[in-house]
Amino acid sequence: MRNDARARLFAPIFTALVASAWIVLWAWGAGPYARYVHHASWSDLPGVAAICEAVPGGSLLLDALLHSAAWLLMIAAMMLPTVFPLLAGFRRLTAARPDRRVLLALLVSGYASVWALFGVAAHVFDATLHQVAERVPVISLYAWLLGAGVVGLAGAYQFTRIKYRCLEKCRSPLMFVMEHWTGRNARRNSFVLGVSHGAFCVGCCWTLMLLMFAVGTGSIGWMLALGAVMAAEKNLPWGRRIGQAVGVALIVWACGIGLMHAG
């Protein structure tokens, strides 16, 4: 297949893959194993069930694999659309190479590995907090503070210097590829390129992703909203202003939670 034909097919195939991830998430969330997609929100405390219930008749390893698969599916649905310009630019750069598909797969793998590590850390922290709350009932009475804190943190982070630095890296994908792509040891270079971009992406969006744990992961509506915000921030000309508006809205929301429970 000629390069121009491949170029025309790249965007539709990419869109179909992302759409498939959303469909699978929706179907999974409506099925008998939805608990691997949904985690309890802080508004559900006290009495929340254990985060990682074993598959009936299954093993702890299978349980962990299903949680990991659900998280990576969320990342594919929410984050891949935000890095489409990077992937498209890298595809053009390597279009003449016979191993271009392998290099693109390694780039995506490197990117996904960073978000996978973030997911492990976030899930462990979230599960630990839930377990502590179950053992210390008084914490459950003030669970709203944790939710308000996460929402407020996400809002305040939108205005920090590190957020802007990471966002600028994400908003200049072609420059990022040119800075990090050497062509030497191409497979390793592709994976490291994905890891590097993933690290900046996490630096840009980690607090927004934490909102999933404050409101309960697995909500298709929340994932669509947060994914749209992150994609707009990175890819639209007025993305920074959208991010600032979201920051203000989150801070107001956190204050509203506080006022609701003040009495």
Higher pLDDT, 31 or 160: 160
Write out pLDDT tens, residues 170-201: 888 888 988 888 878 899 999 999 999 999 99
**Domain ranges, residue 70:** 3-262
Q: pLDDT digit string (tens) for 231-259?
A: 888 888 888 888 899 999 999 988 988 88
38 or 99, higher pLDDT: 99
In terms of residues, how long is the chain? 263
For the chain, the average pLDDT equals: 78
User: Can you say whether the dihedral through the CA atoms of 165, 169, 172, 175 is positive or negative?
Assistant: positive
In angstroms, the CA 41 to CA 129 distance is: 11
What is the rounded distance in angstroms from the CA atom of residue 208 to the CA atom of residue 256? 18
Total domains present in the chain: 1
Cα distance between residue 205 and residue 125, in whole Å: 17
209 close to 28: Cβ distance less than 8 angstroms? no
- Between 71 and 51, name the one with better pLDDT: 71
Q: Given pLDDT bands bounded at 50, 70 and 90, which one contains residue 127?
A: confident
* Banded pLDDT at 218 (limits 50, 70, 90): low
Burial code of 221-256, b = ≥16 C-beta within 10 A, e = fewer? ebbeebbebbbbbbbeeebbebbeebbeebbebbee
45 SS3 class = coil
**pLDDT of the residue at 95:** 85
Question: Which runs of consecutive H residues, i.e. helices, occur in 30-99?
Answer: 60-79, 84-93
d(CA 231, CA 99): 29
Residue 184's pLDDT is 81
CA distances from 14 to 61, 76, 110, 247 (A): 31, 11, 18, 30
Sign of the CA dihedral running 52, 57, 59, 62: negative
DSSP 44: G
Name the residue with higher pLDDT: 151 or 60: 151
Residue 177: closest CA among 79, 80, 101, 111: 111
Calpha distance 124→146 (Å, rounded): 16
Query: Can you tell me which residue has the tokens 């969006």?
Result: 205
Average pLDDT over residues 117-123: 83
H-helix or E-strand spanning residue 141: helix 137-141
Cα of first residue to Cα of last residue in the chain, in angstroms, is 67
Helix (H/G/I), strand (E/B), else coil: 8: helix
Q: Greater confidence, 220 or 102? A: 102
